[in-house]
Chain A
């Protein structure tokens, strides 16, 4: 043991370990048995959402004064990782609630926070983050949805696409153009839209390859009127709010990816210990053992990078976006590779739904796509590296 020489601050704290172990037990005992069915039926797991709410897991990053737990980003990621290890759809419930509450936490006034955060923290309400549009994906500043001021109100007009929880959320944080003439990054503002507002409707739900229990919606805002008091921050701050949100939400997706990878690794290792071919466990064959060792190394490397990124981002500073992007890039690629190799270790059994690894492989793919594609993450990193905004 060299514990005495480990610099303080590098290890997880006692609280973080207790949080991680508690969520792992909860996930193993209460969520894992549901995962295959959630994937098969494609139905949002309201029972899991209730379980997460009961254990304060939907208000992790929300400050305690607004009813949340108020833990740091690393603790949030530990929870997402442990739940995603058994069910990526369920892990995403935590991640999306964090993602979409972040603009209110980051840019909301005290009055706005008091109005919305307690219900989100308690899990009484769900919230969705609506930035992406049919023509504005990676090019987030190309949003076309308009918000036109009319007295004490705004009128919102437009379509949002690929909105996670869009069809079930009580609140939608919508990014819309308030000044089409402004320079590219000053055109957008952020608004909170309650789902019962007239003119709001869910146009369609996507049929997806993975995270099938998580509803992904196309949302239409047809002249939706909201009070000006629902705007988060000053007009024109929308793009900046979205980017600051991504600094905190991309690590959440990296955590989901690390969790999926860990889950697949554990299934593959257990299989390799018990599956016998040619008279011995397949794990004793070097080609299988090497696959497993590489899977473990990739998962652990992504995990440690993520934990480091969380502490850097929590501290703040100009390097946060780069760390968030690197963590998501490395973790998403690790998850895809590890889950693909897990299917390989299980062979034919890995390709059928008798084992969870084919589901994990399908779920892993989304971590390379949402919260910015891997290509966008590289763009963020390269810009930081080359010093160009």
Chain B
């Protein structure tokens, strides 16, 4: 199995920094970058597939030139290599441009499966997997809770989460799967994994290396723009209840009941 995992470096959601710049775009210098959380679930799924079926995992990212350090964590978890598409001209690209670039990068890779997290914690659009599958003409198996490939038969079966249950989908390989957290929590890199990651390749590709992309890239070519940003309303005064579990539960219930928030 040759698996490509789409991995996006995103501002660390735990850093507490204001992540949007004055232009309403994510300020990638404001907070340290980490691997997008849902992409780590996709990578974990890929690692388990390779452990049971054999094969190799390539991380694919479109990100600023500082991304190799972030990708190193994925390599330490067990991915075999990484491909980073980085180019100053990509700054400000919208989703459409991003999909075009990722499609061009995937065209240069050999794979049976492409795994992607269902969305990213910086953009939250959640449309890249579907758009990419469409552009590449790949079957899309979305919202996966389980992935069962049959490489000999050249097929993959996926349990797809729907309201109230699962669909079971099957498609020929190669295919693109968008991964949910139901696939299982990502592992911590082992220390030996961290040391081994040093010698793994992070291939850096510029736009010129990729060749033509489907749509123009960069901020000037963006078809969408963020025109306003509203922060969530400030949290009101909080109250901490310190008591035994039973007493605390009773106090919370009383509190809610007094405000007619309990049925």
Contacts and interface: CB of A to CB of B under 8 A. Distances in A.
A148 B235 CA distance: 73
Interface in A13-57: 14-15, 17-19, 21-22, 25-26, 54-57
A22 B192 contact: no
Contacts of B76: 18, 22
Nearest to B198: A15
Interface string B248-259: 000000000000
Given A22-B76, A274-B240, A15 B188 contact: no
A71 interface: yes
Contacts of A26: 188
B72, B76, B194 pick with most chain A CB within 10 angstroms = B194
B155 interface: no
Interface in B62-77: 69, 72-73, 76
A55 B191 CA distance: 6
B15 interface: no
B72 to A, nearest CB: 6
B188 A71 contact: no
Interface in A176-191: none
Contact of A55 (B72, B73, B188): B188
A19 B194 contact: yes
A93 interface: no
A69 B192 contact: yes
Given A15-B198, A22-B76, A69 B191 contact: yes
B191 A60 contact: yes
Interface string B192-218: 101101100000000000000000000
B191 A56 contact: yes
A26 B192 CA distance: 15
A158 interface: no
Interface of A: 14-15, 17-19, 21-22, 25-26, 54-57, 60, 64, 69-71, 79, 274, 354
Interface of B: 69, 72-73, 76, 188-192, 194-195, 197-198, 238, 240, 242
